[in-house]
Structure 1
Amino acid sequence: MISKERDLKKAVEEAVKVLKEGGVILYPTDTVWGLGCDATNPKAVERVFQIKHHTDSNSLIMLADSPDMLARYIREVPEVAWQILEVNDKPLTIIYPGVEGIAENAISVDRSAAFRIPDHQFCQALIRRFRKPIVSTSANISGSPEPSLFETISIEVIEAADWVADNSFETGSTGRLPSTIMLGLGGEVKILRG
Structure 2
Amino acid sequence: MEKKVNIHEAAEGLKNGKTILYPTDTVWGIGCDASNEEAIQKVNEIKNRDGEKSFIVLVDSVAMLERYVTDFPDVCYDLIDFTEEPLTIIYDQPRNLPKALLAKDGSIGIRVTNDMNCKKLIQKIRKPLVSTSANISGKPTATQFDEIDESIISSVDLILNERTKEVMRKPSSIIKVGSNHNVKVIR
Bin the TM-score by the shorter chain.
Answer: over 0.9
Name the % identity. 38
Tell me if 1:80 matches 2:78. no
- Structure-2 residue corresponding to 1:192: 186
Tell me if 1:2 matches 2:7. no
| Counterpart mapping for 1:149-168 below 5 A | 149-168=144-163
SS, match of residue 14 in structure 2: helix
- Structure-2 residue corresponding to 1:8: none
Shift of 1:132: 1.0
Q: What stretches of structure 2 of length at least 5 have no aligned partner? A: none
Q: What is the number of equivalent residue pairs in this alignment?
A: 186
CA RMSD of aligned residues (A): 1.6
Equivalent-residue separation in structure 1 for 2:153 and 2:61 (angstroms): 29
Shift of 1:63: 0.4
Shift of 1:84: 0.8
Which one of 89, 97, 102 corresponds to residue 94 of structure 1?
A: 89
Equivalent-residue separation in structure 2 for 1:168 and 1:112 (angstroms): 32
Equivalent-residue separation in structure 2 for 1:66 and 1:84 (angstroms): 13
TM-score, normalization: structure 2? 0.93
Name segments (4+ residues, structure 1) moved above 4 Å: 169-172
TM-score, normalization: structure 1? 0.90
Shift of 1:55: 2.1
**Structure with the bigger percentage of helix:** 1
Which one of 50, 54, 69 corresponds to residue 55 of structure 1?
A: 50
Shift of 1:53: 0.6
Shift of 1:177: 3.7
- Indicate if the aligned counterparts of 1:31 and 1:178 stay in contact, CA closer than 8 A: yes
